[in-house]
Structure formats: structure tokens, C-alpha cells
Structure 1
Amino acid sequence: MMPLQRHIKNVVHNYSEVERKVREATSNDPWGPSSTLMSEIADQTYHVIPFTEIMQMIWKRLNDKTKNWRHVYKALTLLEYIIKTGSENVARQCQENIHAIETLMAVHPLFCDKDYTSLLVML
């Protein structure tokens, strides 16, 4: 999505600053999220409201359609990062929703030929 389109969508949907960061980190852009951006997001997982917004946006991205496969891939990348460096509540919420992650990895075409068990092992 073009930066202008993304900006308009952020304004129209009234996304918070942390939701915008998660959207940027999990965008369809052909490059991965920066470690600086992921670190900023991980730091916000220690605060109740941003934590909730971060996790809601990640779950939303994980449920995106196949045409937005980068959203899914980058959401898993971000999730792995914040499990390691963010609040323990991230891992706890993932453990509570492990079936969703396992199902995604079992049926999503992007993950059928790859081994993402390291993410599951962390949980």
C-alpha cells in the first residue's frame, strides 16, 4: 500500500500510535520490519492499553487473506520478536491462543513447506 493510502486509512480508522506501528511493521511492503520498530512495539507491551491494541492488531493480521500473505508472515515475525523481548503477557496470550497459531501454520500456503516450529517451541 502506498504511504499516502496507509496514512489515510490510519486516519479514517482512528488507529492509535501503537496500532499504526504494528500496521507498519506488518505491512505488505517487500521489506521486513526494522528492529527499531519492533523494539518500540515490544516496549509498549508492558503497558495495558498498548498491549491490548498490539495484540488485537497482530491477531487481525494473522487472520488476513492469502493475497496479504506478507501481513501474516510479518505478524509472525513481530510476534516472535515481542515474545522474546516484550512483556510475558505476550507469551501468555499466545499460549491461550496456540490453536490459532498452529492452525494457521498448518493450513496457510506460505507455511506449508517451511518449519516454524521454533515459534511454537517458545510457547
Structure 2
Amino acid sequence: MTLVLLFAVTLLFSAILVRFIIKAAHRFSWYDHIDERKVHTGQVPRLGGVAFIPAYLIVIIILTLTGIWKEQVTGSFVLVLVAMVFIVVFGIWDDFKPLRAQYKALVQLVAAILVVAAGYRFSARNRSSRPMPP
């Protein structure tokens, strides 16, 4: 039941935030610039997909504060959320003021270190990422 509630509320918040962000993108001319690497030919608003992260975080905060989702919020979970927010913030920054490749790599490295510190391991053998048992 909790997962269904999480999905439904996140979907609702995402739909609302996507509309808001796309309207803001049109209003402030936040468009993706066309270059040789892009497939699109017209003005495509930036940041539409960014709405999913705040929607997810809002739902997690609401469910945690109301006690509905208390047992799932652990230190490991918080580290993964911090890594996610870190990637999103620098992704937004990169959309408006492109970062050099080494800075992007550094941001990704820091986020990966946070995820590993949370107890997740990545293996090419079984292609899974699961928290290590306590």
C-alpha cells in the first residue's frame, strides 16, 4: 500500500511540477540550444524532467513526517538521496552554464562515492546493485 501511495502522490506532484517548469521555461526562454549533437530542430524547453526529483523528494518528506514511511528512511537512503540531489543540481547548472568535462566527472565521482558509502556495490559479474547485508 505504501508503494502505491508513494507512486500516486509522486505522479501527481510530477505532473503539476512539469507543467509549472515548462511554463517557466517558455516565459524565461529557457530553451535547449540546437547544435550538431542535437536531434530536435525546434525550441525545446529545458528542465522539464527536473520536476521528477523534487516531486519524489516532496513525497518522501511528507510520508516521513507523517510517519507513513518512517521505517524505510535510513542513513543509507539519505546518502543516496544526497547523491541524487547533487547530480540534479549540477545537471541544472550545466544546462545554463556548461561545465567542463572534468568537473562533470568529478561530480559523478562524488555522487558514486556517496552511493558506495551508503552500502551499494556495483559488479560487472551479476550486473546488480544491492545494499550489502549488515
TM-score band by shorter chain is 0.3 to 0.5
Larger Rg: 2
Higher strand share: 2
Structure with more relative contact order (C-alpha pairs < 8 Å, separation 6 or more): 1
Normalised by the length of structure 2, the TM-score is 0.35
Normalised by the length of structure 1, the TM-score is 0.37
